[in-house]
Structure 1
Amino acid sequence: MRHLLLAAATTLACAAPALSENRIDLIRPDAPALATRGTHPVGVRAQDFTDADRIDVIAAAQGGTPTTDRTLRTEIWYPAAEGTEPGTTYDTILRDGVTPTTLTGSAARDAAPAQGSFPLVILSHGYPGNRYLMSHLAENLASKGYVVVAADHPESTYDDQQAFASTLVNRAVDQRFLLDSMAALEGDLGAATDADHAAVVGYSMGGYGALIFGGAGLSRTALERTEPAGFAPPAGLLDRLAAGGEDHASLVDPRVKAVVAIAPWGRQHEFWDAGGLNDLTKPLLLVSGSDDDVSVYDAIRQIYDQTTATTRHLLTFDHANHNAAAPIPAPAEAWAMSESLGRAPFDHYADPVWDSVRMNNILQHFTTAFLDIHLKGDSGKADYLNLIPDAGDGVWSLDDDGTPDAAHTYWLGFPDRSAKGLMFETKPSGQ
């Protein structure tokens, strides 16, 4: 017994340094094939973009439509020049808005970009969140030949969380502003950015914004509701996002070629109806946990069913809740009690059932296939999305030489016994 205890203590001691690094770039040995890092080293730069004279939603609650300069602080990840030495840290804070933490990744701060021009991906966090919440995906995609930008959305971050109305009005507009800003970027990073081939990846309220930006205008119910408090921004400010309106039509952008919406918020409160969702024509990948009680899984399935003008996919993590796939693994500091929250911030990042790294890897796999198809024209990746719906029904069957035979129906790219607890459904445009 003493030997077992000593062995366990040794194992924990060896594991502690890795855990304390708060790594965002972990790839499990059983990860699906496209989760692995690409061939590019990765660079990262900080950049602020300011949208002058944006309507100030918070101040508008006091009357009128005042404006202010709205500054979005971003991180931009990108393929770096050959020979770039990997490794950087990100100093940030936890969900409680006060506790500092340091994340460790594989990007190199301010490295020179690789030669070439690379499609653009916009990452948009939830309410609250920050630009590092999906940094695992940012680094992963940059290594595969994408420029990825993630912003701190003002009034929607851990240390600047204000009235929900601001996020309702601003999120899709922020995403469009990021696209325009990246398209106008100059210098070596501007030369590396192909903003004419762009995608939006949004989590929770980021997913809400991505659907609007992608073409799904808001319903009359959303514009007219007054309860719960905060759902109705003042002065009709949501009207510009209404389905069928000229303002919304001008927001939607042909440079956006695909949308990934992870646990998108809104359908459970009738912020869209079938008509508004039918206006979304961008290829769509939806991701959800089957037990999501924030955005509500049945409502996300309604989005899947009602976006009939496009081909769309729904990836479901069985028994996962709202944190399915998007957030980084909970930093070590998030395991401790936070006085400001009255609980540990751990539950902001983690899922009670699923391992975060596994979910991150699965998201990296499917997002890579989806974006490679629609932003790079890589039709060979389509086989990774042509799957039997229930992974549990897959059959692993190989010939003597290790080649899949006629009975083999296991999900492509997943090692044997690793595609468990997952569903992947597809509906073509018109259905």
Structure 2
Amino acid sequence: MVRIFAVIFFVFFTSVVTARDNRIDTIRYDAPELANFGKHTIGVRTLTIIDPNRIDVLNTSNGSANAVYDRKLTIEVWYPADPTTAQDAGGEYKAITRNPAVIATLRGSALRNADPATNNVRYPLVVLSHGYPGNRYLMSHLGENLASKGYVVASIDHADSTYDDLQAFSSTLYNRPLDQRFVIDSMANFSEDTNSFLHGLVNANMTGVVGYSMGGYGLVNNLGGGYSDAVAAAATISPNALVSAHSTGNPDYRKKLDSRIKAGFAIAPWGMNFGFWSANDLAGITVPTFYLAGDADDIAGYENGVRAIFKGAINSERYLLTFKNAGHNAGAPYPLPNEISSNEDKTGASHYTDPVWDTVRMNNIMDHFATAYFNHYLKDDQQSQSYLDVVPDGADGVYSEQNGIMDDKHTYWKGFGSGTAVGLKLEHLQPLQ
């Protein structure tokens, strides 16, 4: 009885401390193995990049010439760092929240403006793309975590789609795939620029993209899933049918895809339940993809949404991790910030929470699988495959050990403690061709 009380108190105390300090780097006692941080010190910097002459969706009208503008994006970049060179105190982010009137102070492990590690290694690139709305900090737990394991991570503030800059949906529908590709180009250019702190640090030829919700919508398109011609051409989607640039029937669509994207990680990708892809469209995906979803997702849908994409992408190797009974927020958002939870006005609170699952636990599980997946596909780490080849339903695994050593009866998910894979399902499908 005492031991049970101690465990309950520990979980409660950890949750209270996490909420008070807004930690994005909390690793729970029951987290799977690969959720733990790696050996690298983490550096972080904020950059602004500008894509000149992008079509201006918001100022283009049907039948008129397309307006153009210089599209500015802010990105947060995490990278392996030299721990002795930080110019500012690290581990703190001032983040606008889902309630734009509230600014949260998030705390993590990164050192602000630290010099990069000097070991002449080019690290794989991972791009993080948030939902509508969101911002570059929403998946900051993953940004720090992957950087500690030898990745350069660039997280985007998508203009017209952030908490404090929420514009017409048509801009996001058109710009999301373009923003993701532009960030890859920019990071590759920084790595070749002798004046950039990223010089020689980024291997953009081995790029992974993580897309949540509308970020997943853009990611599926960049993996080869062109949008349905009929939906993309609809007048209500974008002026001058601009989204048709990303549709399957556009002869230029596939020419503009970026072959440097070697792996996708799509979290609750939006669009399937609104007809954005047909079977023919999804068959165009050939890039390996890890899908993550809650089976109670009422935003992106599950059977008619994420799971339908997973099943329909028949020409790609793919995984689907399902959080049973979780909703749209499975895995991606950092925990509810104290500035909202302690406020009388709870506007935006549901953006960071799930009615069933603890957010930190979901973050830890997502970071574990993102690590295994990207290590396998971007670093060719064959040992990582064993974390992905598991009994499909976590509840069916058998945890069996003798004197701390797993015996022949053991079939439990690798890296998970006894009982901790219950509520999870991981499916794996091979491409047809």
> Taking structure 2 as the reference length, what is the TM-score of the superposition?
0.92
Alignment of 1:369-380 (within 5 A): 369-380=372-383
Q: State whether structure 2 residue 113 is matched by structure 1 residue 110.
A: yes
Q: From the superposition, tell whether residues 312 and 97 of structure 1 become closer, same or farther in structure 2 (CA, over 3 Å).
A: same
Q: 1:242 to 1:87 in 2, by over 3 A?
A: same
Q: Secondary structure at the match of 1:92?
A: strand
SS of corresponding position for 1:420: coil
Q: Secondary structure at the match of 2:320?
A: strand
* Pairwise CA distance, 1:139: 0.1
- Distance in 1 between the 2:115 and 2:14 partners? 35
Does the 8 Å contact 1:41/1:84 carry over to 2?
no
Match of 2:4 in 1: none
Residue number in structure 2 paired with 1:32: 32
Partner Cα separation in structure 1 for residue 14 and residue 57 of structure 2: 50
Which string of whole-angstrom CA distances, capped at 9 and with x for unpartnered residues, describes residues 244-282 of structure 1? 423321221111100000000000011011111111111
Change in Cα spacing, 1:109 to 1:82, as seen in structure 2 (3 Å) is closer
Amino acid across the alignment from 1:180 = D
1:78 aligns to 2:82 (yes or no): no
SS of the residue corresponding to residue 28 of structure 1 reads coil
Partner of 2:362: 359
**In 1, Cα distance between equivalents of 2:132 and 2:197:** 33
Change (3 A) 1:17 1:404: closer
Is the counterpart of residue 238 in structure 1 residue 247 in structure 2?
A: no
Determine helix, strand or coil for the equivalent of 1:305.
Answer: helix
Give distance in 2, aligned partners of 1:389 and 1:209.
28
Letter of the structure 2 residue corresponding to residue 363 of structure 1: M
> What corresponds to 2:125 in structure 1?
120
Aligned to 2:197: 188
Moved more, 28-37 or 180-189: 180-189
1:100 deviates by: 1.2
Output the aligned Cα RMSD: 2.0
Instruction: Give the match's secondary structure for 1:128.
Output: coil
Aligned with 1:100 (options 92, 98, 103) = 103
1:292 aligned to 2:294? no
Query: 1:144 Cα deviation (Å)?
Result: 0.2
1:2-38 Cα distance to aligned partner (Å, 9 max, x none): xxxxxx99x9999766532211000001100000000
Secondary structure of the residue aligned to 2:93 is strand
Partners of 1:278 and 1:190 lie apart in 2 by: 37
Give the one of 202, 206, 212 matched to 2:215. 206
Deviates most, 284-293 or 231-240? 231-240
Output the CA distance in 2 between the equivalents of 1:209 and 1:312: 17
SS in 1 for 2:31: coil
Cα shift at 1:292: 0.1
Using the aligned pairs only, state the percent identity. 46
The Cα offsets for residues 118-155 of structure 1, whole Å up to 9 and x where unpaired, read as 00000000000000000000000000000000111000
Q: Could you tell me which residue of structure 2 aligns to residue 423 of structure 1?
A: 425
The letter for the 1-side match of 2:81 is: A
Structure 1: tracts of 5 or more residues without a match: 1-7
In 2: Cα distance, 1:12 partner to 1:360 partner: 17
Question: 406, 418, 422: which is aligned to 1:404?
Answer: 406
SS of match in other structure, 1:190: coil
Match of 2:93 in 1: 90
Report how far residue 376 of structure 1 moved.
Answer: 0.4
Supply the distance in 2 between the matched residues of 1:416 and 1:171 (Cα, whole angstroms). 40
- Residues 338 and 66 (structure 1 numbering): CA distance in 2 closer, same or farther, change over 3 Å? farther
Distance in 2 (alpha carbons) for counterparts of 1:16 and 1:422: 25
- Whether the aligned pair in 1 keeps the contact of 2:231 and 2:276 (CA below 8 Å) is yes
CA contact (8 A) 2:290 2:318 kept: yes
- In the alignment, the residues of structure 1 paired with residue 358 and residue 12 of structure 2 have an alpha-carbon distance, to the nearest angstrom, of 18
Which residue of 2 is the match for residue 219 of structure 1? 228
Structure 2 equivalent of residue 258 of structure 1: 263
CA distance, structure 2, for counterparts of residue 83 and residue 385 of structure 1: 36
Distance between the aligned counterparts of 2:166 and 2:61, measured in 1?
16
Aligned to 2:52: 52
Task: Report the secondary structure of 1:74's partner residue.
Answer: strand
The answer for the alignment partner of 1:3 in structure 2 is: none
Partners of 2:14 and 2:374 in 1: CA distance:
38
The AA in structure 2 aligned to 1:393 is D
Cα distance in structure 2, aligned partners of 1:14 and 1:426 = 34
Q: 1:307 aligns with which of 313, 316, 322?
A: 313
- Work out which of the residue numbers 283, 286, 300 in structure 2 matches 1:281: 286
Contact 2:229–2:249 (CA under 8 A) maintained in structure 1: no
Runs of 4+ in 1 over 6 A off after TM superposition: 11-15
* Change in CA separation of 1:157 and 1:57 when aligned onto 2, cut-off 3 Å: same
Amino acid paired to 2:383: G
Moved more, 76-85 or 249-258: 76-85
CA contact (8 A) 2:329 2:354 kept: yes
Residues 331 and 405 of structure 1: is their aligned pair in 2 closer, same or farther, counting only changes over 3 Å?
Answer: same
Q: How many residues align?
A: 415
Which amino acid in the other structure matches residue 253 of structure 1?
A: D
Matched, 1:321 2:327: yes
Once the two structures are overlaid, the 10-residue window that deviates more, 400-409 or 96-105, is: 400-409
Matched, 1:391 2:391: no
